[in-house]
Amino acid sequence: MAVWHPCTQMKVHETLPLLPIASGEGVWLTDFEGNRYLDGVSSWWVNLFGHNEPRIKTAINEQLSKLEHVMLAGFTHEPVVQLSEKLGELTQLGHCFYASDGASATEIALKMSFHYWRNIGQPEKNQFLSLKNSYHGETIGALSVTDVAIFKDTYAPLLRQSVQMPSPDFRFAETGDDRSAETFALGCANFLETYLKENHSKIAAFIIEPLIQCAAGMGMYDPMYLKRAREICSQYQVHLIADEIAVGFGRTGTMFACEQANIKPDFICLSKGITGGYLPLSVTLTTDEVYEAFYDDSVSRGFLHSHSYTGNPLACSAALATLAIFEKDDVLRKNRTKTEYINQQLSTWDSLPIEHLRNKGMVWAFDVKTKNKEFQQNFYQQGLAQGLLLRPIGNTVYWMPPYVISQDEIDFMLNTTKQLLAVCA
């Protein structure tokens, strides 16, 4: 097979044929036989405003007629300047460093944090913390702070060790624990404080997925953990890296998840939805303080990291069009209405074989109580047969649809999921 597909055991496709997609429109994907599939996972969480969105296409085409690419070392261009200024306004972090994918954004943040401490005379601060069950990408540095065994264990000999803090995901509260999600989160934050009190002198940064640990089965937690993590990291002079690659751009109900705790991280990593799902782009934003530590006559004190397509004009134009849609269409307000509708429908799901039904913004998840060892694959295949694209994580079923999903399409997604549970659980 000429194409080696991602996150796939290729031998599976001897019995499970690949699904060739011919076109997309709105929340729907269409194969070459005319069958349609509702994209309930936004094509790996990237597609915000539907497939074939005319405004994003127009922006890309207009930019294509002027400049397709120029290297960003020694040169600049209008879309990257405009996008950087806009992202700076939205995040209150004024310095953007671009790449093409989320893992690269993580690598940049980790390297930049380490290099910052070295530049200010503290090279001993060269270790990192993350949460248990965290996921930050699959390049070597990003995988070093990831805690998902199926991705990490094979490559353990290549990886730099990191330390994992207890996850505030409320599903990990002990049976019978009558604490609220907020109290449980604060208890987890106490472990972070205890660890940094003893070890802060060697810790460069704490990297965290704000509010939702996506690859861990959409583990959700209270914003109070972010607030305390910010306070603790500030107290012990440790950088806080917010990995908003999956949860940024409205997914949790606010433009960025950190807003729900009213905090500003030292770094924020963005990708996935940044271009509405049209072109690869990622960015790591940071503070004036970090930027100034690299601003020097010495080349070696500069951040000598690069990617060939850094700040690509076409991708930046798609990102600018995406941000414009948020403003023009009042997206966050409309999403709240859809969230309320879906949650209202879910209030009748008490009798289904599920637990931990949870929601933040435009992300929903529940864990299926099943003994079916083939549940994940069966659910996925049966869903496609009924025109619904969902990819369970183990026994966790989640919805992360494009924001343009209509009420009728929501009903189809919910009703089909209920039918699949009856067949697959």
How does pLDDT run across 181-195, given as a tens digit for each residue? 999 999 999 999 999
Q: Does 84 have pLDDT greater than 90?
A: yes
Instruction: Identify the burial level of 387 via C-beta atoms within 10 angstroms of its C-beta, where 0-12 means exposed, 13-18 middle and 19 or more buried.
Output: middle
* Spatial CA neighbour of 335 closest among 398, 266, 253, 277: 253
| Predicted pLDDT of residue 1 | 81
The dihedrals phi and psi of 95, each to the nearest 5 degrees, come to -135, 120
Q: Assess whether pLDDT exceeds 70 at residue 175.
A: no
Predicted local confidence at residue 14, as pLDDT: 87
Q: Give the containing element (helix H, strand E) for 63.
A: helix 54-64
pLDDT at position 178 over 80: no
Q: How many CB atoms lie within 10 A of CB 24?
A: 19
Q: Which domains does the chain have, with CATH numbers?
A: 10-52+330-424 (3.90.1150.10), 57-328 (3.40.640.10)
What are the tens digits of pLDDT across the range 234-281?
999 999 999 999 999 999 999 999 999 999 999 999 999 999 999 999
DSSP state of 51: B
Dihedral sign for Cα 63, 65, 69, 73, please. negative
Confidence category of residue 179, pLDDT binned at 50, 70, 90 = confident
Residue 357, both tokens: 């039904």
pLDDT over 60 (residue 100)? yes
- Angle at which helices 331-346 and 407-424 cross, to 10°: 40
Structure token pair of residue 125? 């601060």
Q: Are 22 and 30 in contact (CB under 8 A)?
A: yes
- With bands split at pLDDT 50, 70 and 90, how would you rate the model's confidence at 177? low
How many helices, marked H, and strands, marked E, lie in the chain?
Answer: 13, 16
- For residue 226, the number of C-alpha atoms closer than 13 Å in the C-beta half-sphere is 25
Q: Give the residue-averaged pLDDT of 42-70.
A: 98
Element (H, E) at 57: helix 54-64
Ramachandran angles phi, psi of 154, nearest 5°: -60, -35
pLDDT at position 15 is 87
Sheet holding 36-39, edge to edge: 21-25, 28-31, 36-39, 388-389
SS3 131: strand
How far out from the chain centre does Cα 31 lie?
27
Average pLDDT, stretch 322-341?
A: 98
pLDDT for residue 251? 98
Pick from 143, 92, 147: which is nearest to 286 by CA?
A: 92
Write b or e for each residue in 40-60: b if 16 or more Cβ atoms lie within 10 A of its Cβ, otherwise e: bbbbebbbbbbbebebbeebb
What is the structure's pLDDT at 4? 93
Residue 283 · residue 274 · CB < 8 Å: yes
Taking a C-beta distance cutoff of 8 angstroms, is the pair 30, 280 a contact?
no
- The DSSP symbol for 167 reads P
Of the chain, the percentage scoring pLDDT greater than 90 comes to 94
> If we measure between CA atoms, which residue out of 360, 251, 330, 323 comes closest to residue 90?
323
146-164 confidence digits (pLDDT tens):
999 999 999 999 999 999 9
Q: Does pLDDT of 176 surpass 60?
A: no
Q: What is the per-residue pLDDT across 7-50, written as a single tens digit (0 to 9) for each?
A: 988 898 888 889 999 999 999 999 999 999 999 999 999 999 99
Closest CA to 180 of 225, 125, 135, 131: 225
How far apart, in Å, are the Cα atoms of 5 and each of 8, 101, 165?
A: 6, 17, 33
What is the rounded average pLDDT for all residues in the chain?
Answer: 96
**Residue whose token pair is 């690509």:** 312
Question: pTM of the predicted model, to two decimals?
Answer: 0.97
First to last CA, the chain: 33
Polymer length of the chain: 425
- Between 172 and 68, the higher pLDDT residue: 68
Determine the Cα–Cα distance for residues 362 and 254; give it in Å rounded to an integer: 10
